[in-house]
Structure 1
């Protein structure tokens, strides 16, 4: 019997295999954004940029990332925008339920604890958001609460989170915390000084971070309410 050559050998399709194909599910998107807050004895100043982008594409240059929860409480968010919208909608609904049930507005401290519980509840599929909740506590003092993705909460007097948080936090440590400074002024920071520092750090962030730019929205929280300002940044 003649031997079959390679070109004449029968093919068996049942035994042919393909290269392995990897399937991935990644529902998150990083839309950038940075949030900075500084608290004083009787005020809080919080600022967030207005650029909403992904990669090298800019969706809009006028997206506010600061959400008013009450007359003394404000939430700043950066990261995945769809998670931000979902989280803020749920928080707003829960604060309305609290007000209708107890006939009073939820305090900043209670809102901070509620947000921590909400994020911990979603710890197995967390919100991809950098949160910062600020306001005046029951004694009228300014407070800043920052969070990790699973709800760990920390109170501070100043904080920077978001895409340029790692760039801005050392600058705040020096200018606000007076760290690594000789003969530093130990007097409490004033409202005008805190507002000027927030503008300066965002100008620095816009030079180094492509996800931060266009302009910043600033909310000033005092016993008289919330005052909103805006400040332009570079748009390239």
Structure 2
């Protein structure tokens, strides 16, 4: 048997043809997943007359670091910021939509909306995309019309609740227990909001450093926003880079 005949016979055995029909390969499902998660962590604490928000600057995809200097926090007004963990592309799109709606509100009512109004605005925006949601997990932070610190936590489809502290992202499971221990008071019906900005700042800073030591997706840089009656102040410092 020649070499050509051997290969022809081998091919015939592999692709055996019946009299009725050709053998079919096993069915394969082909799908498209538009979502990725770029991880990272954000956290916030609402004080008596202030609010502090922190976030790391690492943007990852699996075990690859895409950027070491991308902010997860966007200023919406002089008294409100939004901190977002999850998919970076969806976070950018969501923040642009929010800023546009806030500008539209200002043009119509000649003033910026309060955080309570923006909270409903963000919830409606997320719920309006519930069938193809923004893959984002948000903390809306600032001070309300009465000068009190306020934080609203959201899931991906717009359900939200007002909290006095919270965290979102890959390091949230590490940070929330620290905030529960240091900030929340579970033994009273109406816990008193913290009034010492230095204590709150140290708790947030220490919790982010702790998360960076244990979560590979949290690190590189730490951004801290302080919101009070004087406006928004911004600080930045390094976090663990490996």
Quote the offset at 1:11 in angstroms. Answer: 4.9
Q: Distance in 1 between matches of 2:146 and 2:228?
A: 12
Asked whether the equivalents of residues 199 and 231 of structure 1 are also in contact (C-alpha less than 8 Å), the reply is no
1:14 positional shift: 4.0
Distance 1:210 1:10 in 2: 53
> Is residue 202 from structure 1 mapped to residue 208 from structure 2 by the alignment?
yes
Distance 1:41 1:129, change over 3 A: same
Question: In the TM superposition, what is the alpha-carbon distance from 1:206 to its structure 2 partner?
Answer: 0.4
Q: Paired residue for 2:236?
A: 230
The residue number in structure 2 matching 1:40 is 47
Q: Cα–Cα, structure 1 residues 232 and 18, in superposed 2: closer, same or farther, change >3 Å? A: same
- Shift of the 36–14 alpha-carbon distance from structure 1 to 2, 3 Å rule, reads same
- What is the rounded CA distance, in whole Å, between the counterparts of 1:14 and 1:158 in structure 2? 65
**TM-score, structure 2 as length reference:** 0.89
Q: Which residue of 1 aligns with 2:27?
A: 20
1:117-136 CA deviation, whole Å, 9 max, x = no partner? 11111111111111010011
- Partners of 1:78 and 1:35 lie apart in 2 by 7
CA contact (8 A) 1:49 1:213 kept: yes
Report if the CA contact (8 A) 2:164-2:193 is conserved: no
Q: TM-score, normalised by structure 1?
A: 0.91
Q: Supply the distance in 2 between the matched residues of 1:131 and 1:196 (Cα, whole angstroms).
A: 22
Secondary structure of the structure 1 residue equivalent to 2:103: helix
User: Contact conserved, 1:176 with 1:189, CA < 8 A, in 2?
Assistant: no
After TM superposition, give the deviation of residue 192 of structure 1 in Å: 0.8
CA contact (8 A) 1:144 1:158 kept: yes
How many residue pairs match? The answer is 226
What stretches of structure 1 of length at least 5 have no aligned partner?
Answer: 1-5, 181-185
**Structure 1 residues 196-205 or 14-23, which shifts more?**
14-23
Structure 1 residue 15, shift from structure 2 partner: 2.1
RMSD: 2.0
Gaps of 5+ in 2: 1-12
**Equivalent position of 2:61 in the other structure:** 54
When residues 93 and 16 of structure 1 are mapped into structure 2, their CA distance, relative to the original with a 3 A threshold, is same
Identify the match of residue 147 of structure 1 among 141, 151, 154. 154
- Give the deviation of 1:12 after TM superposition: 4.9
